[in-house]
Amino acid sequence: MRERYNDNEMGDQAANKQQFVIGLTGNIGSGKSTILNMLRHVGVYGIDADDLTKRAYDQQHIVDAVRDRFGDINRQELAKIVFNDKAALKDLEAIIHPAVTHAAKTLLENATLPIIAIEAIKLLESDLVDVCDSIWVVDANQQAILQRLQKSRGLQPDQIQQRLSNQSSIEEKRRKADFIIENSTSHHAAWHQVQHAWQTIKATTACKPLAEKTARLTAPFSHQIVTPFSETHERINNQLSRGISCHYLPNHEPVDQENIESAICEGIVFSTIEAPDAGLFTSWKPSTFNLRISVIYKLGDPATAQFPASFPTEIESFARLHRFASLHIPMPLPLISHIQATISDKQYTLLPEREALAAEWLKAGYNVLYKQLWNADQCFKH
């Protein structure tokens, strides 16, 4: 990892800052989303420009502008056009990027946590760079990029090269970086670099009081979040190595140390609140707007996996702290009475069976509870 950082550059007003913004960038396939999730573990509020872009396409004024320029086509057809025509891509970005920038700035204005990371491929070419206090660039070698994009998106090498050609060079990004995260090898190596950069940032004049505020705000949840390569992470590994079974729900597939590591590093893993050593964990798939339990896993017999009554309340508090707009929480079917009361009081609703997410969990004997905390479309309103 390379760093270029001088606390004195922050200026005389550094101690009076109310927010500290990390700009997280890098080319496609470099693993930026994993680094963003690692920052969420230390209490950073994460904003992903890709999530904002997807939401922007749901806004009627964006739909109308895209149709006026490109005709009545679907997203896949649009992608084929713009990735083969730089002029068309420029026209599309002129429609989308102002909306994304506005949404990101709205999220910044309403953030509860004082340290924020904005992840964006074209961060350095956008107006968002002006709100960033520190630029982090994530880089990876060609082999790692190819493997990630083939696995996650099913892209072929020629398609990957085509998309890379529409992005600024990684060398240019590296020249502008305060910190460079080399992300070609292991989660452990990436986490070590993130920790080093985080410790450097939080010790600066600008960030120190904000890091202290972050620690206070996240204290109620610090005992339940399984941070990468922590004592809890190692305890899980030790139990697995001793032959204690662990299975994912809802599909009951066996879990190994590699699965656990990916769940922790690429998402957020919680132990149950009332019994953090009981071996019941929930793995969350976070996006800018949604926090969704993707799997539940329990060391030992998965049939005994039961949530404490306080779980919906506590996880909602965590979600509000990180400004997630909605929650999806699988709960055992039937719901026991004290959890039923909590759910009713907190105004959760059951996801309809016709929803694919609900159908998968129903087969495993779970309801899916849903709650909208705020309307994410508000970010795009001027």
Domain ranges of the chain: 2-6+17-219, 223-380
List beta partners, residue 137.
25, 180
Q: What are 144-198's pLDDT values in tens digits?
A: 888 888 777 777 777 767 777 767 788 999 999 999 999 999 999 999 999 999 9
Burial tier of 277 (Cβ tally within 10 Å: 0-12, 13-18, 19+) = exposed
Q: What are 44-77's pLDDT values in tens digits?
A: 999 999 999 999 999 999 999 999 999 988 888 8
Say which CATH topology domain 223-380 has: Aminopeptidase (3.40.630)
Are both 2-6+17-219 and 223-380 of the same fold? no
**Which homologous superfamily is 2-6+17-219 in?**
P-loop containing nucleotide triphosphate hydrolases (3.40.50.300)
Q: What are 266-302's pLDDT values in tens digits?
A: 999 988 755 445 567 888 999 999 999 988 877 766 6
